[in-house]
Structure 1
Amino acid sequence: MSPLPQTIPGLIEAAARNHPQRIAIREAGVELSFAGLDALRLQAARALMSAGIQAGDRVAVWAPNCHEWVAAALGIHSVGAILIPINTRMKGVEAADILEQSGARLLFCVGEFLNDYFPAMLQGQKLPQLERIVVLGKSRGSDTTWQDFLTLADETPEATARERAAAVKPEDLSDIMFTSGTTGRPKGVMTCHGQNIRAFDEWARCVDLQADDRYLIINPFFHSFGYKAGWLAALMRGCTIYPLAVFDTDGVLALIGRERISFLPGSPTLFLSFLAHPKLKDFDLSSLRVAVTGAAAIAPSMIHRMRDELGFKIVVTAYGLTECCGVATICDRDADAETIATTSGRALPGIELRCVDEEGKDVPAGGEGEVVMRGYNVMQGYFNHPEATAETIKDGWLHTGDIGILDANGNLKITDRMKDMYIVGGFNCYPAEVERILTAHPAIAQVAVIGVPDARQGEVGKAYVVLRPDATLDAAGLIAWARDNMANYKVPRHVEIVAALPMNASGKVLKYQLR
């Protein structure tokens, strides 16, 4: 077997050469072979070059899972530009903040989606560096469509685009993925072509992703789980990608049987929704082979049920964060249910993992400490945030902010978070960011947000609110306002109006008292 190319344009070019007629992407009304996907990404690359996009420029994608998302991303990578994925649950203000921070020159943006017209959400936002918006899917008026944009390819010869793609190096940045932080404003995590390919080649080996797998990608492409462990890993192995834009339990269960889906990662919430379906036995799930999950605590009984009731032969859990390309540990697929459910497995080869105390010293096996890691998967840093980078990476070690336990076999169990982050249905949610948006409400004087247990989502947000003098606001009103101003998973599900927040002498809210 020839060595894997170490750049993303090299990957798709090799895949098209090695298995040109194998189906790369199948979605409603669209079927692209690897040769067809390669031709489409070259057309996108030529159009980007005609639009003046240079190596090192930032180009954003704000759209749900679809074949155009993959083609646009591959085009961006092929011209040496840097991909900026944007969460489709974000509202205009949130998306504009990422566009402004990244300095994106061009945006591929979905048109009508989830009752919004996404380009309209950016109206009134000050984005002087954004030169062009290309609408994927249904557009309005004179907005530039994906097909309109692709006609620009005629102005750039294919040979010129191939030369640009060949000039991309493994150490070049492939993407900047914005992750929230305790400061309340998203920070851009920079990673390179080579490190991502190495990490997810190893991931694909551990989870036994194979060329004949049919991979249903429900995890959103704006997240490492859907992008890197999703379509990027699929390109490496030559399997067929089924992108899913909107999750519907009945529709997905029917699709699994109809298309003989075999590979299905997702959050525990996804698999719980299957297991809770009253007519589960009416669906043909016999093709299912591999499930990969994580991001929340799981009962060992759920692993048994995924095997017994959903038919998975392999179920594994994993751990990672955006700052380490999205993956750091994974369970052995032959491990017992207890290990798979209660730990995130061992570090991938080439990655060192430790749990340390407040002085940076290793804690004994079985003791709690902050999870730190070192290896090829550690980010290049935060975009334009050298101070935050220096606080997070010390002497080459990435400090995750997660509290964990390493057992005698090297399996990692995450027990808590140093930061206040909580996880809503698989999405990381940072109270500081939610609080920053909520304080813009004219009736709010102070607000503190914490995560509280939820039977369906794992955790959800609860906001404790102090109102301004003479202001009136109830829980329903604030929740409705929040839905208009932030991504749905960030919206607090519970609101409590209080006279004052518990604080220490320096004025810091004592969230442990709220909990």
Structure 2
Amino acid sequence: MIYRSPLPDVEIPGGTLTELVLGTAARHGGKPALVDGVTGETLTYAELAEGASAGAGGLAALGVGPGDVVGLLSHNQPRYALAVHAALGAGAAVTPMNPVLTAGEIGKQLRASRAKVLVTAEAVADKAADVAREHGIEHVYVLGEHDRARPFAELLAAGHPAPRPDLDPATAVAVLPFSSGTTGAAKGVRLTHRNLVANLVQTRAGWRVGPDDVQAAVLPFFHIYGFTIILHSGLLGGATVLTLPRFEPGAYLAALAEHHVTRAYFAPPMVLALANAPDVERYDLSALRYAFCGAAPLDVEVTERAERRLGCRIRQGYGMTEASPGTHQVYDDAFATTPAGSVGRLSPNTEARLVHPGTDTDVAPGEDGELLVRGPQVMLGYLDNPGATASTITGGWLHTGDIARVDDHGVFWIVDRLKELIKYKGYQVAPAELEAVLLSHPGVLDAAVIGVPHAEGGEAPKAFVVPRPGVEAGDVLAWVAERVAPYKKVRALEFVDSIPKSPTGKILRRVLKERG
């Protein structure tokens, strides 16, 4: 059975990502495109378009063009967008990197992507320069000033004309993110201009971002969620994108209030933090109309607590790096009628199936199954890994590795990661379900669940819990046991100071498994 979006298909433009999102920059002119929430630095639409064109000319003069890759190592800041579109304008692809990566991890990505140029933020310029030298990358530019890298502004000021690269948007890679590797080694994901252009116009059908909007961008641009859903949906709509380098509840709420943010984007740990943060109510958040959460399942009770404090509904979406990323969304006009805890309906031009894991056989209506998706946003494939590509995309269908269900109204619910399901005496136990129960305990600040070897059951749930002072492990175990079926009980519990997570909030279960 193939599920489809209730929205009609949209026409996918034929140009590049830069042509789509900056093609109307002249219309917006002096309107702020990006504002740094810490420093106040502002780039207008005109400055962004002109700077990207000049930067493309500067990169082209270095010999950068189609088939090349530019590494981008930075936190969220206005000049991030400038670097992206300078590289794309030259015909190159961008491989974005988390600035907290170790030198070894950065080097591994630069080597795998065969990056020719590295652009870095000031704060990590020393690390970037060391890695570039080790890997033979001659050209290192800094978004600002640093004595070990040339200012990116030099490329803009050089006066070289913008090139006109001959690209096929359907096959030319625009962005080369590396998947988070929550269940294994990270892989380079080849996203073409067409993939990203398609996803932007698809999601725009349901999320009507416009010039009156201000989008809060604290989720990192080096992750595809921040890159597409926040940064580029904002630029496409003519909104102002407010960049923030990191999430801290007080500073974040102050920024929302000061800049009259209308759309906020969360990962689950942010929602949990806002549900528990002191003094939320003293901030004027009256401009906030929509709040979205993605990257990992979000507990309904935590959602409702955060909603009451923010005065705004929070709804989830769904996607993955390999889908640019969006496949499911709660449309703006369906916020009030779509159940919390679901991920909404399919975006236009997107199809889905639910199959028995490891097969191509559809499950019966109403049953849980592995989610498969198909659409123009699905990646070209993994970098230099045809085997992984062939096992992930079969017959045009992308295997998400997530277990989902769909109701009679076409609303989808993510049950859990297929690879993270715990099998206890033959029963399948979803870690996300147990985590939701743990988070409902008043003495639990955060929690994660993994499967560990068990003498009787083969595998059993173990919980890692960040407790409030005075909480006893026995009380937490009893709390869970009273609220789940016997085979779902947590059999072991360990108190920890924090739960390891990716930058977008996914629990790094493999890290916990290494600890046992």
TM-score (norm 2): 0.77
SS of the equivalent of 1:40 reads helix
Aligned to 1:38, which of 27, 42, 49? Answer: 49
1-side partners of 2:420 and 2:298: how far apart?
A: 20
Aligned counterpart, 2:153:
147
Aligned counterpart, 1:248:
248
Task: Give 1:321 deviation, angstroms.
Answer: 0.5
2-side partners of 1:452 and 1:409: how far apart?
A: 34
1-side partners of 2:246 and 2:182: how far apart?
A: 29
Aligned counterpart, 1:188:
188
Conservation of the 8 A alpha-carbon contact between 1:8 and 1:78: no
Task: Give 1:332 deviation, angstroms.
Answer: 4.0
Task: Give 1:410 deviation, angstroms.
Answer: 2.4
Aligned counterpart, 2:474:
none
1-side partners of 2:306 and 2:210: how far apart?
A: 20
What pairs with 1:414-493 in structure 2 (closer than 5 Å)? 414-420=414-420, 452=463, 454=465
The answer on 1:49 being equivalent to 2:60 is yes
SS of the equivalent of 2:109 reads helix
Conservation of the 8 A alpha-carbon contact between 1:315 and 1:333: no
Amino acid at match of 1:321: M
Aligned to 1:8, which of 7, 17, 22? Answer: 17
What pairs with 1:109-508 in structure 2 (closer than 5 Å)? 109-112=120-123, 117-119=126-128, 122=131, 125=134, 127-128=135-136, 130-139=137-146, 141-151=147-157, 153-154=158-159, 156=160, 158=161, 161-164=162-165, 167-171=166-170, 172-181=172-181, 184-312=184-312, 315-333=314-332, 335=334, 339-357=338-356, 358-420=358-420, 452=463, 454=465
Task: Give 1:204 deviation, angstroms.
Answer: 2.9
SS of the equivalent of 1:112 reads helix
2-side partners of 1:90 and 1:348: how far apart?
A: 33
Task: Give 1:341 deviation, angstroms.
Answer: 2.5
Conservation of the 8 A alpha-carbon contact between 2:315 and 2:341: no
Task: Give 1:248 deviation, angstroms.
Answer: 2.0
1-side partners of 2:375 and 2:55: how far apart?
A: 34
SS of the equivalent of 1:95 reads helix
1-side partners of 2:300 and 2:510: how far apart?
A: 29
Amino acid at match of 1:145: P
Task: Give 1:219 deviation, angstroms.
Answer: 0.8
Amino acid at match of 2:418: M
Aligned counterpart, 1:97:
108
Task: Give 1:264 deviation, angstroms.
Answer: 0.7
Percent identity for Structure 1 against Structure 2? 28
Task: Give 1:217 deviation, angstroms.
Answer: 0.4
Amino acid at match of 1:31: T
Task: Give 1:222 deviation, angstroms.
Answer: 0.4
SS of the equivalent of 2:403 reads strand
Task: Give 1:120 deviation, angstroms.
Answer: 5.4
SS of the equivalent of 2:371 reads strand
Q: Deviations over 1:465-490 (max 9, x none)?
A: xxxxxxxxxx99xx99x99xxx9985
Conservation of the 8 A alpha-carbon contact between 1:300 and 1:337: no
Task: Give 1:334 deviation, angstroms.
Answer: 5.0
SS of the equivalent of 1:178 reads coil
Conservation of the 8 A alpha-carbon contact between 2:129 and 2:140: no
Residues 281 and 488 (structure 1), Cα distance of their counterparts in 2 relative to 1, 3 Å cut: closer
Amino acid at match of 2:211: A
SS of the equivalent of 1:230 reads helix
SS of the equivalent of 1:273 reads helix
Conservation of the 8 A alpha-carbon contact between 1:221 and 1:227: yes
Amino acid at match of 1:281: E
Aligned to 1:25, which of 16, 31, 34? Answer: 34
SS of the equivalent of 2:387 reads helix
2-side partners of 1:213 and 1:182: how far apart?
A: 33
Aligned counterpart, 2:95:
84
1-side partners of 2:294 and 2:183: how far apart?
A: 25
1-side partners of 2:286 and 2:149: how far apart?
A: 44
Task: Give 1:223 deviation, angstroms.
Answer: 0.6
Task: Give 1:236 deviation, angstroms.
Answer: 0.8
Conservation of the 8 A alpha-carbon contact between 1:89 and 1:488: no
Residues 336 and 226 (structure 1), Cα distance of their counterparts in 2 relative to 1, 3 Å cut: closer
2-side partners of 1:451 and 1:169: how far apart?
A: 49
Conservation of the 8 A alpha-carbon contact between 1:182 and 1:420: no
Q: Greater shift after overlay, 72-81 or 201-210?
A: 201-210
Conservation of the 8 A alpha-carbon contact between 1:220 and 1:226: yes
Task: Give 1:257 deviation, angstroms.
Answer: 1.4
Aligned counterpart, 1:107:
118
Unaligned runs of 5+ in 1: 432-447, 457-474, 498-513
Conservation of the 8 A alpha-carbon contact between 1:202 and 1:348: yes
Residues 289 and 121 (structure 1), Cα distance of their counterparts in 2 relative to 1, 3 Å cut: farther
2-side partners of 1:33 and 1:12: how far apart?
A: 14
Unaligned runs of 5+ in 2: 1-10, 422-430, 436-447, 451-458, 468-493
Residues 247 and 381 (structure 1), Cα distance of their counterparts in 2 relative to 1, 3 Å cut: same
Task: Give 1:228 deviation, angstroms.
Answer: 0.5
Q: Root-mean-square deviation (CA), in Å?
A: 3.6
Conservation of the 8 A alpha-carbon contact between 1:316 and 1:333: no
2-side partners of 1:342 and 1:454: how far apart?
A: 22
Residues 451 and 237 (structure 1), Cα distance of their counterparts in 2 relative to 1, 3 Å cut: farther
Q: Deviations over 1:47-94 (max 9, x none)?
A: 111111011201110110011211000011111101101122311111
SS of the equivalent of 1:74 reads helix
Task: Give 1:409 deviation, angstroms.
Answer: 2.4
Amino acid at match of 1:309: R
SS of the equivalent of 2:67 reads coil
2-side partners of 1:58 and 1:494: how far apart?
A: 34
1-side partners of 2:65 and 2:85: how far apart?
A: 15
TM-score (norm 1): 0.77
Q: Deviations over 1:149-193 (max 9, x none)?
A: 444x33x2x2xx1533xx444322211111144884321111111
Amino acid at match of 2:379: M
Conservation of the 8 A alpha-carbon contact between 2:316 and 2:341: no
Q: Deviations over 1:341-384 (max 9, x none)?
A: 32212211211111101331110122122111111111100011
Aligned counterpart, 2:7:
none
Conservation of the 8 A alpha-carbon contact between 1:109 and 1:136: yes
Number of residues of Structure 1 aligned to a counterpart in Structure 2: 442
2-side partners of 1:192 and 1:162: how far apart?
A: 19
Amino acid at match of 1:17: A
Conservation of the 8 A alpha-carbon contact between 2:17 and 2:196: no
2-side partners of 1:60 and 1:352: how far apart?
A: 33
